[in-house]
Structure 1
Amino acid sequence: MIASINPSMKAFSVLIPGILLALTYDFFTPLFYLVFILIITFTLSKVSFYRWIKIFTPFLLIAIGFSWMTMLYTSEEFSGGHVLFEVWRFEVTSGSFETGVSLGLRSLCFVSLSLLFVLTTDSTKFMLSLMQQCKLPPKITYGILAGYRFLPTFQQELQLIRQAHRIRGVARSKGLRDRIGLFRRYVIPLLANGIRKAERVALAMESKGFSGESKRTYYHEMKINPRDWLFLFCMVGSLVTIASLSSYFGFLNIFGKQY
């Protein structure tokens, strides 16, 4: 279901909650919104849990590091409350602990929202939606899409160049000077091939009548349906509801002020 949502609407559905979450400094709001994102991700999409956790795990470790450093180096504005424990000469108070946990949970919410968008969105449809709904100029959009399509080919060409060097008996780099020379031997052919491909793509687009004008017809038209608006209201409304509950129970904290 999420994969069929209009990509531009999906981007706004991810961006707006991310901006609103950045204003909160309590742990209640991002914790329950993170649970909501996970439920949406694994019930309304076909995202593989193994693939998701494989991408998510490095960011989880980074978020734990952010939380720990925030607990130790929290500013005076957020470090109030009684001392929970000490680490060497650092005192972790209830305020610094809550701020650190909040930062970690917010980071995980940002990562989860990003994965929800990236793993359920087709890049071509996203570019088409940016042109048709957000009025992004076709020259920029097709340029980004062409560059994105070229990335896998560069990796294949790099492997071919390495194999060609090995066949010709080029020795592997040992010192810093050799590594710099090896870098030049790899980069120059890749750049030359990239320029040739860009010229061929440009000539092909011109021969098919591409002029870069915004007023044009599209073979595949992207439309905004009621379910797209429903998804947007669901993502934003759930965050507002959780923030309201957080305020009701006395947890909501925005820029250090309790609500």
Structure 2
Amino acid sequence: MISSINPSIKAFAVLIPGIMLGFTFDVFTPLLYFLFILGITFSMTDIPTLRWLKLFSPFVLIALGFAWMTVLYANQTFSYGEVVFSLWGLEVTTGSIQTGISLALRSLCFGALSLLFILTTDSTKLMLSFMQQCKLPPKITYGILAGYRFLPIFQHELQVLKQAHRIRGVGRTKGIKGRLNQFRRYAIPLLANGIRKAERVAIAMESKGFTGDKDRTHYHQMKVEKRDWLFFVLMIGMLAAVFILSYYLGYLNIFGKRY
């Protein structure tokens, strides 16, 4: 299962294809790799299909918006081919349509890769892996982890503040001035509570002997095993295979230059 893969290896296995796909402007390459990502997501993870579709639906809307704007406002490099139709004085060519579809598919690939990483990665293990495998300073990793843990607390405190104001007869105000006053009523208590919690966490970490030294032992040891490298080779190797196949079929297009 992908959830057991080392987070650092998984991050690079997702980041490299995302960067490489950004150089392609044909339809075939991102489409084939997007189908591969879908196969990996639904065969090697336990992500519920309905939940994945709900989270992925915003990426579809964003991809359609990117495609539409690219079709209408493609530059001269990508406006090759015959004119298909004109809209509002803008000529839409076969090249601009292909570029728009390619951009949409790349956006879908980025979204699918992001969900694959986010939904199968534990935040604590991710920070530990960055600290142990990537040698990220403990001050940064523990700071990020502490801030991430504060988010649900702030959300709960915001709900408590809203309920307290509602009990005291302070309802939602209208207008820009009213919204600013409402934001100030919420922001000041949350900021004060955040400062107090940060001080308590800092004192607690110092009392436990945390100094930010890199030469430290870890209760949870994050190891890189054979299966981690197999997953990395699978993701990068499939990307290379898609590029090679696209090249031999004559579809590969990098920055508007067909190979």
TM-score range, shorter chain: over 0.9
Match runs of 1:1-259 below 5 Å = 1-259=1-259
Q: How far is 1:205 from its partner?
A: 0.7
CA shift in 2, pair 1:99/1:175, >3 Å: closer
Question: Alpha-carbon deviation of 1:171?
Answer: 4.1
Letter of the 1:99 counterpart: T
Cα 1:169/1:218, change in 2 over 3 Å: same
Q: Secondary structure at the match of 1:217?
A: coil
Deviations 1:161-185 (A, max 9, x none): 1111122222431333222222111
When the two structures are aligned, how many residues end up with a matched partner? 259
Report the 3-state secondary structure (helix = DSSP H, G, I; strand = E; otherwise coil) of the residue aligned with 1:92: strand
Question: Secondary structure of 2:77's partner?
Answer: coil
SS of equivalent to 1:116: helix
SS of the residue 2:78 aligns to: coil
Question: Could you say what the CA RMSD is over the residues aligned between the two structures, in angstroms?
Answer: 1.0
Gaps of 5+ in 2: none
Higher mean alpha-carbon deviation, 169-178 vs 154-163, is at 169-178
Deviation string, structure 1 residues 176-210 (Cα, Å, up to 9, x no partner)? 32222221111111011111111111111111111
3-state secondary structure, aligned to 1:32: helix
**Structure 1 unaligned residues grouped into runs of 5+:** none
Identity of aligned residues (%): 67
Structure 2 length-normalised TM:
0.98
Query: Which stretches of structure 1, 4 residues or longer, exceed 4 Å deviation after superposition?
Result: none
TM-score for the superposition, normalised by structure 1:
0.98
Q: Distance in 2 between matches of 1:252 and 1:232?
A: 23
Report deviation, 1:87: 2.4
Which amino acid letter does the alignment assign opposite residue 61 of structure 2?
L
